[in-house]
Each structure stands twice: as structure tokens, then as C-alpha cells.
Amino acid sequence: MRANTWAGRNKVEVRDVPDPRILNKRDAVVRITSTAICGSDLHLVDGYVPTMQDGDVMGHEFMGEVVEVGPDVAAERLRVGDRVVVPFPIACGACNACAAELYSCCENTNPNAGIAEKMFGHPVAGIFGYSHLTGGFAGGQAQYARVPFADVGPLKIESDLADEQVLFLSDILPTGYMGAEMCDIQPSDVVAVWGAGPVGQFAMDSARVLGAAKVIAIDKEPYRLEMAERAGHIPVNFEEVDVRSRLLELTGGRGPDKCIDAVGLEATHGSAHIATYDRVKQAVRAESDRPHVLRQAIMSCRSGGVVSVIGVYGGLLDKFPAGAWMNRSLTLRTGQCHVQRYMKPLLGRIEGGELDPTRIITHTLPLEEAERGFELFKNKEDHCEKVVLKP
Amino acid sequence: MELTATTTIRRPATEVYAFWRDLENLPTFMAHLQEVRATGDRTSRWVADAPFGKDIAWDAEILEERPGEKISWRSAADADVPNAGTVRFTPAPDGISTEVHIALVYDIPGGTIGKAVAKYFGEEPHQQLDDDLRRLKQVMETGEVVRSDGAPWGKRAREEFPQRPAQPLSDAELAKGAGR
């Protein structure tokens, strides 16, 4: 089959690889009909996530048709011919983490748990196409994928919704939603979202759906801010205005009640000095993550507010404003999304017309053009917001 | 050399104990074991895998067994690498899960076998026992050892890095792996 693979730092390549097989009894093989490029794929390609290997099949946002099931997948749960969206964290459904619905922390699905434990203190779940640290599972930017624990994760789509309406249930819609949910949004809340990429846009829409009074979008790309504005959110361009002053102005001096970091470890900064400081520390491996957004969100949030982090961090960061966090009673909440928890309720919200995930799609390309898709997305060319690939 | 490891398994202690007490199950999750065969009520024959340089076999005897709680064993006097172990099963505070605590003692001899054993355990002997218990947990909670494309051979995926790439296996690789 054809698959988009990691070919070294800043390089992806569509190659011929073997077709996937059933390796465990609860596996399924899915013929992929739609897949997408995620912002976190850029962290892999940019070289910020260790343990990638030449030839790793990328991609963790995919859906398709079940073409084979392992002997222990119960027919009432999943059969050949079912149309499914596959959640990016692989979860067993039987461990204590899964019992607590902490699916991205599943205790059984990462065969490289020992490595993850060294990095993170405790292991994390396996993830499709997302380095060997999260298990070394082939991803979904391909014609076919093997899906372990197929009787646990995949969501069956039984209505006639188009792929584009449900594909993002695999990751970015639940991720954005969890970012908003962690904010415990009250009707009087002003919610500020850093990053108007795909996850940020969905965090904004989710904050609105959960009843926020006002939602603010912070980014530097005019086209992304316009996209947020068209969806009813208030744009703030950090290259044009001072973010803190503008947020104070928009909130009568209080600061946003809830702040969402939908950027993570590769933040860009308006101040060249601070950006250089973090970039240099990253280059010499004294710091793995550039936490500019996290710092600004903590400093901006009103006292007693919540800072919710859904942008990806990978390792260590520097100059964490612990004083502001502690003295002003802020709550910091975070997590890789527990996608399985949100797929069904969010499918309901899509069917009910409350959320329209298709609004962020700007490019649909054949899988063969994955490399071009990565370039468009990474360099924000041609007003690229979200690339869907068709195998 | 003394090694200890612990894990928590979301199954009742009686069930985890019963699985372990059937010593023939040990090779499904313990990387170095090829086969354990019961030879009597409390005696058994253990065969360790090729990473020792060559297969090595010994007899072992259960010294103490308290159903649902504890099993202790030790190798017979003539073992090349005298060893003993104790595994304890205690209820976790959640009232559902079982804590498994294992302690192994190896009396590593000099000479070729001693060198092979030392090489096998490598620089991080604890890592292997941790991984053994992780696989026990996988088997008890999910039914089998979990495989990925990067680590497709279950307990035989000993060398963690570099792994094979995270892409599906070819027919030739599958055939080779199945034959190992």
C-alpha cells in the first residue's frame, strides 16, 4: 500500500509499505477513506518529538471501512463493512486508567512503556503514527491501518454524514472540546484561546457551545483570525497589539476568566528577545519546549481562573511563572485528549447542528500529495488551516 | 543480584494468583523463560531462552504457597544459576485491583555462564522485570501481550531501540518472526 512516512527532520515521503495485518486478536484492519494532517504531526516533522524513525507511517486522524477483524472482536461490537472513525489514543478499556475514562493514559497499549516512563515518570497510551515513545504504531496517513483494541475505540457512523463532518472526531474536535470542558465554563465567562489553528478553532466553538459570554481568539495570521471572527469569536492579533492590554480592555480590567493554550511547545513570540532565548535553549537541549503561550496565559488569566492546556508539550520548559500561578489561585488543567470519552456526545452535537467541523477545511488533497500538504500547513501558505488527505 | 518490581492489576487477587501458580503460564510474560513444565505438585522444570548464550534448564521447587496471597520458590541445588523468588498478591486500596510485588534473587556464578547472565541483564536489570510485570498486566487485563509495528514480537521485542520502523510487517518478516 501507499503511506506517508517520516523521512527525517523536515521531510515526509509517500512510499510503498506492506499492507497491515492482524497482530493481536482484538485488532481490525481499516481501509482508510479520509485522513488528516494534525498540528502535532508538525512537531514530529520539525524534530521536537524524540524516537521517530525513518520509515514510520505518520497520521493519527483517520476513518474508513473495516475490512478485517481479529478473532476476539465481538460481532455485535464491530464487523467487516462497518464505517468507523478511529480515536488517536489506543485504549484497552480494561485497566484502571480506562475505567476512569483516562483513555490517553491507558496502562496497557504502549509496548514501549519503559521508554515513556523514563520521559514522563509514568507511561502513556499508545498513539497511532506518533513516535516510538507512544508505542511505535503505524499511523493512518495511508491506504490501510491496523487498529488494535478495535472493540474499544472506533466509533461506528451509521448515518449518512460525510467523512468531512465526522473525521475530526478522531482528535481535534474532542481535543478542542476537552480544552473548553476543563474550563468549567460559567455563563458570565470570557474565554481566551491562544492559537487559531484547527484545535483552537474547535476550542472556541466548544466554549461557545458550553455557554461562554465571550470568546477571544489570539493568533498572528490574519486569515486564521478572520476564520474565527466569521464563527463569532473576537480576534486579537498579537503582532499588531499588546495582548495583555487588549485582553484587559476586552474584560474591563479583570482578565479572561478562562484561558486555553491551543499552541504548545512551538509557540512563536512577538518579542524577538524572548523568542531567541527559548530557541537558543531548545537548540542546545537545555529546554525542549517553548512555553511562551503558557506563560502569557498564566499572566493574563484573572485571579482564581483556569488555564487549560491542550497544545502539546513534550519535555522540559523554562521560566514557568509559578509565582503568578500560586499567588493568584490559578488552576492549571491539561491532558492529551481522552477522545473515546467525547466521540458519541460530540457526534450528537454535529448531528444536531451545534458544531460544524467542516468550517476549518481549506485543502483536500490526494494522499500522494501529503508532502505538499505538510508544506502548505507548516508554512501557512495559501491560507491553509486544515488539510484532508484522500488515499 | 536482587531485583524487585511491582504493578497493579485490575483483577481479583485469587485470579492473578491462580494464573501465576500455574507456573506454565510464566513464559507468556517473562522475557527470559522459554518453558516451564510442572513435574510434580510443587516441583517444576524451567528452561530459559537463548539470550543466555545457550538454553539453560533447572529444576525448581515451591517452598511456600498461600492461595491468593503469596508464592515462594527456589531452584534445586544443582542449578547453574541458583535463584529464588517470591511473589505477593495484596488487595489494592480501590477494593477491585491487586498489587503484585515480586522479588527475585540470582546467585550469579563466575565463568562463561555468569558473563552471559550479566550480559543478558545488561545495564538496567530492573527494566526487564518491570517489563515482565507490564506484560503480565496486559495478559490479565486484555487477554494477551500487546504488539505494535515497532515492537511486533511481544515479549521477544527485547531490544527497544532502534526498533523496526512503525510500518506494517512484510510477509517475509512475519514468517521469520513466527518461526522464532
Query: What confidence score (pLDDT) does residue A283 get?
Result: 72
pLDDT of A281 > 80? The answer is no
Q: From the CB of residue B55, how many other CB atoms can be counted at a distance below 10 Å?
A: 11
pLDDT of A318 > 90? The answer is no
pLDDT of A35 > 80? The answer is yes
Q: Which range of residues forms the domain containing residue B175?
A: 147-180
Report how far residue A140's alpha carbon sits from residue A58's, in angstroms, rounded to the nearest whole number.
6
Instruction: Tell me if chain A has a CB within 8 Å of the CB of B137.
Output: yes
And the C-alpha cell for B100?
A: 503484585
Tally of helices (H runs) and strands (E runs) in chain A: 13, 17
Please name which of A123, A82, A111 lies closest in space to residue A23, comparing C-alpha atoms. A111
Report how far residue B30's alpha carbon sits from residue B51's, in angstroms, rounded to the nearest whole number.
13
Instruction: Tell me if chain A has a CB within 8 Å of the CB of B167.
Output: yes
Of all residues in chain A, what percent carry a pLDDT higher than 90? 88
How close B104 comes to chain A (CA, Å)? 20
Residues of B in contact with A92 (CB under 8 A): 138, 141-142, 146
pLDDT of A20 > 70? The answer is yes
Query: What confidence score (pLDDT) does residue A217 get?
Result: 98
- pLDDT, one tens digit per residue, over A282-302 is 776 666 677 889 999 999 999
How close B172 comes to chain A (CA, Å)? 10
Residue B24 sits in a domain whose CATH number is 3.30.530.20
Whether B149 contacts A148, CB under 8 Å? no
User: Are B24 and B103 in a shared domain?
Assistant: yes
Helices A272-283 and A292-300 cross at an angle (nearest 10°) of 130
Question: Residue ranges of the domains in chain A?
Answer: 2-171+337-390, 173-334
CB contact under 8 A, A109 and B131: no
Residues of B in contact with A114 (CB under 8 A): 127, 130-131, 134, 160
CB contact under 8 A, B137 and A51: no
Report how far residue A176's alpha carbon sits from residue B1's, in angstroms, rounded to the nearest whole number.
50
Whether A317 contacts A293, CB under 8 Å? no
User: Are B122 and B176 in a shared domain?
Assistant: no
Please name which of A360, A270, A336 lies closest in space to residue A60, comparing C-alpha atoms. A336
User: Are B71 and B159 in a shared domain?
Assistant: no
Please name which of B123, B126, B113 lies closest in space to residue B53, comparing C-alpha atoms. B113
Query: What confidence score (pLDDT) does residue A271 get?
Result: 66
Whether A152 contacts A340, CB under 8 Å? yes
Residues of B in contact with A51 (CB under 8 A): 161
User: Are B176 and B106 in a shared domain?
Assistant: no
Query: What confidence score (pLDDT) does residue B52 get?
Result: 53
Q: Please give the residue of chain A at the shortest CA–CA distance from B153.
A: A23
Centroid of chain to Cα A300: 23
Q: Please give the residue of chain B at the shortest CA–CA distance from A141.
A: B167
SS3 A192: strand
Q: From the CB of residue B115, how many other CB atoms can be counted at a distance below 10 Å?
A: 13
Helices B125-142 and B13-21 cross at an angle (nearest 10°) of 110
Beta bridge partners of residue B65, listed in sequence order: B71
3-state DSSP of A101-141 = CCHHHCCCCCCCHHHHHHHHCCCCCEEECCCCCCCCECCCC
User: Are B172 and B129 in a shared domain?
Assistant: no
Q: Mean pLDDT of all residues in chain A?
A: 95
Architecture of domain A2-171+337-390: Alpha-Beta Complex (3.90)
For residue B137, give the nearest of A23, A107, A112 by CB distance. A107
Report how far residue A138's alpha carbon sits from residue A154's, in angstroms, rounded to the nearest whole number.
16
How close A138 comes to chain B (CA, Å)? 5
Residues of A in contact with B94 (CB under 8 A): 96
User: Are B98 and B152 in a shared domain?
Assistant: no
User: Are B133 and B162 in a shared domain?
Assistant: no
- pLDDT, one tens digit per residue, over A147-190 is 999 999 999 999 999 999 999 999 999 999 999 999 999 999 99
User: Are B81 and B170 in a shared domain?
Assistant: no
pLDDT of A248 > 80? The answer is yes
And the C-alpha cell for A162?
A: 460525510
pLDDT in tens, chain B (180 residues): 899 999 999 999 999 999 999 999 999 999 889 899 999 999 999 998 755 556 789 999 999 999 999 999 999 999 988 999 999 999 999 999 999 999 999 998 888 777 877 777 777 788 889 999 999 999 999 999 999 999 898 776 555 557 889 999 999 988 887 655
Most confident of A35-49, A305-319, A339-353: A339-353
Pairing assessment for the beta strands A387-390 and A363-366 based on DSSP bridges? parallel
Beta bridge partners of residue A194, listed in sequence order: A218, A261
Q: Please give the residue of chain A at the shortest CA–CA distance from B150.
A: A136
Q: Please give the residue of chain A at the shortest CA–CA distance from B145.
A: A24
Query: What confidence score (pLDDT) does residue A92 get?
Result: 98
CB contact under 8 A, B157 and A111: yes
Q: For the domain made up of A173-334, give the CATH fold.
A: Rossmann fold (3.40.50)
Domains contained in chain B, number: 2
Instruction: Tell me if chain A has a CB within 8 Å of the CB of B132.
Output: no
